[in-house]
Amino acid sequence: MGSFIKKDLFLFLRDRKELVVALLLPIVIIFVLNLAFDGLFDSDEEAMLDIHLALVNQDNQENVTESLQEKLIEEGSFDEMEATAIAEQASYADPVEALANFLESEDLQNWVTIHDLDEAEAIDQVEQGEIDGMLVIPNDFTVESLYAAFTGEPPAVSLAYKMEEETANNGTMYDIINGFIDNLNYQFAMQQIAGSNEVEVVQPQGGVEQLGEGETFTMSQYFTLAMGILFALFLSITVAAKTGEEIRQQVFDRILVTNSHPMLFLIGKMVSTFILAWLQISIVFGLAHLILDVFPGRSLDFWLGVAVITLLFALAVAGLAAVFTSIALQMHNIDAANGVFNVIAMVLAVLGGNFVPIYVFPDWMQRVSEWTPNGLTLSMMMEWLQYQQVSSLIMPSLMLVGFFVLCTLVGLAMYPKRGGAK
């Protein structure tokens, strides 16, 4: 068995081109990506928004209590006593005032400027680009909103947010206003369920809540992890490609002549791939850290976790090499087989987020990524990088082991019988 493993390791180590690709190329790519994207994602200063919003209030807020009482009696089928009680209860709530206070609150005043304008002037300034958008509060908005809140019917009028063109500022402002309205409706609903005699509109509180003690990760760390995993994945193709060279040199036939078990050839490929993949990832991560200080201040526990994750991924790569080797032994054209292997590896790399961060893809692609060995490993690395919780790695680890077992069984099933290799 040792002879087979030594053979495959020597085949790889004697190929200087493969050594350069496996060890130096990922370091060069990581270095170039860090230079290209330096400061683009890792800046500590938050990008400050400067939004100018025109507030056009067309609502006549005089006699709100009387108007609401009449509407409840005429349209809501309430008797006069019930309508009076509800109207009195509603006098404690003014959605327009609550919205204005929210937009001018301390949380928003640093990056949102409110301009109280009439509609014509607001339209003119929006068209000229002096103001990002305008929020129109239509007439009877207060009465209609309170009536809808107490009767459960959809409001007859609603706020209108108008803009000249869709921009990041407008999108952000729309989300803020929409979030406030949702919060307002939720509060009305909860107070109705609780049977409160008074309605109090509470402004939503802003801020960032830290969940747990997670560490932030940088794009430098992402590039390092993605490239290390990507090139280790390609090792499964490299080892399988050596099979073609061995077929041409009749190595497989010589194994049969020596009366060695043919299965040792495949097992040797798997073990050597496992060793090479683990060493390759470890060297890339180590060099990237020494050159670029990618993982500063990390404890020994962190590095032990990284070592375990890389071992599990190396197992998955070894299983993939078993499948590729068995296919290569079955095919007449080894070059065509290598082309198929490269296509498979490229698809896995794209789905696994090794070329582009997976979070920029649609949700369905993110879910698919978790079923690829490289995507799963990258996810595990990021999870460990941020939280270092062993419990979060248990299920992904079992999935990687399952992938290895499945690929091994497929490789064994496809492995040619004695004399069956092409």
Q: What are the residue ranges spanned by the domains of the chain?
A: 2-42+218-414, 51-194
> Percent of the chain, pLDDT > 70?
79
Average confidence score pLDDT of the chain: 78
Question: Which amino acid does the sequence have at 95?
Answer: P
3-state secondary structure of 163: strand
Please tell me the least confidently modeled range out of 26-40, 227-241, 362-376: 26-40
**C-beta of residue 1 within 8 angstroms of C-beta of residue 264:** yes
pLDDT of residue 320: 93
Q: Which residue has the higher pLDDT, 335 or 138?
A: 138
Using 50, 70 and 90 to split pLDDT, how confident is the model at 422? low
Residue 20's pLDDT is what? 74
Mean of the pLDDT values across residues 16-32?
80
Among the ranges given (79-93, 207-221, 399-413), the one the predictor scored with the smallest mean pLDDT = 207-221
Q: Which tokens in the block code for residue 180?
A: 């406030």
The residues near 304 (Cβ < 8 Å, ≥ 6 apart) are none
Return the pLDDT at 46.
42
pLDDT tens figures, 235-252: 888 887 777 666 666 665
What is the value of pTM for the model shown?
Answer: 0.57
| pLDDT value of residue 183 | 72
**For 36-64, what is the mean pLDDT?**
67
pLDDT band at residue 314 using 50, 70 and 90 as cut-offs:
very high
Fold of 51-194: abc type-2 transporter like fold (3.40.1710)
User: Rounded to an integer, what distance in angstroms lies between the CA atom of residue 383 and that of residue 413?
Assistant: 35
Task: Report residue 32 as tokens.
Answer: 């170039």
Task: Choose the weakest-confidence range: 191-195, 203-207, 273-277.
Answer: 203-207
Asked whether residue 309 carries a pLDDT value surpassing 90, the answer given is yes
- Residue 108 has what pLDDT? 78
Please provide the DSSP assignment of 360-380 as one string: GS-HHHHHHHTTSHHHHHHHH
Specify the 3-state DSSP secondary structure of 115.
strand
Q: How confident is the model at residue 223 (pLDDT cuts 50, 70, 90)?
A: confident
